[in-house]
Amino acid sequence: MHDFKYVGGQLFCESVSVEGLARKFGTPLYVYSQKTLTDHFHKLDRAMAGVPHRICFAVKSNGNVSILRVLANLGGGFDIVSAGELGRVLAAGGNPANCVFAGAGKTEAEIEFALEQGVYSFNVESVPELDRIHRIAGRRKKIAPVAMRINPDVEAFTHSKITTGTHENKFGIPLEDVEAVYARAAKMKNLRLRGVQMHIGSQLTRVSPFEKAVRKVLPMVRRLAETYELEFFSIGGGLGIVYQPALASGQEEWWRLPGARDILTPQKYAASLLPLLQPLGLNILLEPGRFISGNAGVLIARVEYVKKTARKTFVIVDAAMNDLIRPAFYDAYHEIVPVRRRTGATLKADVVGGICESGDYFCKDRRIAQIREGDCLALLSAGAYGFVMASNYNARPLPAEVLVNGRKFALARRRQVVEEIWSGETIVPWLK
């Protein structure tokens, strides 16, 4: 699952001591394992070997240019949702011809930039967007490759903030309208109909919603592929990962935990989808983000205070919701383990940041290992939707990021200097 393990009571990322990294680079600190990234990419790649396919990593889950370079070197493409993300892919040395451009709000400037760079496909989410892409392509005397994003209206059984494939959501074109939109697009001479796409949500822990969605759209995809000579069918991302306790319970073999058998593995995913996808004869695109990056990263925080009140214990750390917002935003669970194990009774505590928001917590009333002021804690599975959602709230600098590969480690992003936070601000003339 990942390459963060205890060796002699000390947490290691691959062959590197996490405490050593915290000492060298300071905290809060994101630490990523190149091996975990690579393993997860290969697991999915191998599982899908039965169909021609391409894995397009969802840049929004972790956009660090070193992470993107790792995936580009593995032969991956990218799923981007903004011109900024396309810029990141270019900065990482990725190939725009392997990028699919999603998102319901593409601006004129973004479409122009993506067209200029030659993305593989615009995944279109509405008729006005289709019209806009066509207009811009005409103006630029180019042919824009497009695919419609189908909203199949299936329940994903995940958190409401990460459900995207029902008619309650803003995403995609309703199933019943899709064929008419293709017919309309086919008449636009500056468009090339290249494929068809869907994405039903994130952190799915069962294969049934994926299967249901694919079954539901399959007859239409087959018709569209034949009529318009499409090249690809993208089944989106959304594969869930294990967040629940493994290391903390002393149980490092997470697959032996109760419930672990229900975890969605690439094998299960492929076993249920390949028989449906194979007969299509299309290139299958996958857009996983979290599955590749989630377990590949941890956030290291140092304990500032252990504050005991009559009713509770608060472990106040130097990371906060601005560094990792998932608990506050999605009620997300992150396993929290000490970087150096101490003997002694566990304690029941809230692990919190120092921000003036009651939402600023990482866990509540949880049994955690014995720790003291000055110790480091690791928040596991923070590689996806972690740093990318970090902000400067409370004028806190963005944390540093480190990539580990075997015995090697290096900064993938230096810690933000505090003055950089307001460097774009000015005192307006009449106040000077």
Ligand X SMILES: *Cc1c(COP(=O)(O)O)cnc(C)c1O
356 in catalytic set: yes
Is the CB of residue 239 less than 8 Å from the CB of residue 264? yes
Q: Which of 398, 378, 391 is nearest to 334 (CA)?
A: 378
Find the shortest distance in angstroms from Cβ 60 to ligand X: 6
Exposure class string for 326-340: b at 16+ Cβ within 10 A, else e: bbbebebbbbbbbbb
Using CB atoms within 10 A of its CB, is residue 7 exposed (0-12), middle (13-18) or buried (19+)? Answer: exposed
Residue (361 or 385) nearer to ligand X, CB: 385
Q: Are 215 and 178 in contact (CB under 8 A)?
A: no
Task: Give 237 or 245: the residue with its C-beta nearer to ligand X.
Answer: 237
Residue ranges in contact with ligand X by CB under 6 A: 58, 60-61, 79, 102, 199, 202-203, 236-239, 287-291, 384
Q: Provide the residue count of the chain.
A: 432
Query: Min. distance of Cβ 292 from ligand X in angstroms?
Result: 8
Nearest to 230 by CA among 282, 279, 178: 282
CA pair distance 300, 362, nearest whole angstrom: 12
Contact present, 235 and 273 (Cβ < 8 Å): yes
**Which of residues 10 and 283 has its CB atom nearest to ligand X in the complex?**
283
Closest distance of CB 290 from ligand X, Å: 4
> Please, which residue, 17 or 38, has the CB nearer to ligand X?
38
Cβ atoms of 363 and 379 within 8 Å: the answer is no
- Of 236 and 245, the one with the shorter C-beta distance to ligand X is 236
Q: Give CA–CA dist 345/108, Å, rounded.
A: 59
Taking the complex as a whole, the smallest distance from the CB of residue 102 to ligand X amounts, in Å, to 4
**Dist CA 129 CA 123 (whole Å):** 10
Query: For residue 285, what are the contacts with CB-CB under 8 A and spacing of at least 6?
Result: 53, 54, 56, 77, 100, 195, 197, 232, 233, 234, 235
Strands 191-197 and 4-7: unpaired
Closest CB 236 distance from ligand X, rounded Å: 5
Whose Cβ is closer to ligand X: residue 263's or residue 355's?
263
User: How far is residue 67's CA from residue 77's CA, in Å, rounded to a whole number?
Assistant: 13
Q: How far is the CB of 336 from ligand X (least distance, A)?
A: 22
Token pair belonging to 370: 């014995």
Q: In the chain, count of helices (H) and strands (E)?
A: 11, 21
Which position among 13, 56, 99, 356 bears the catalytic label? 356
Q: Which is nearer to ligand X, 236 or 386 (CB)?
A: 236
Residues with a known catalytic role: 356
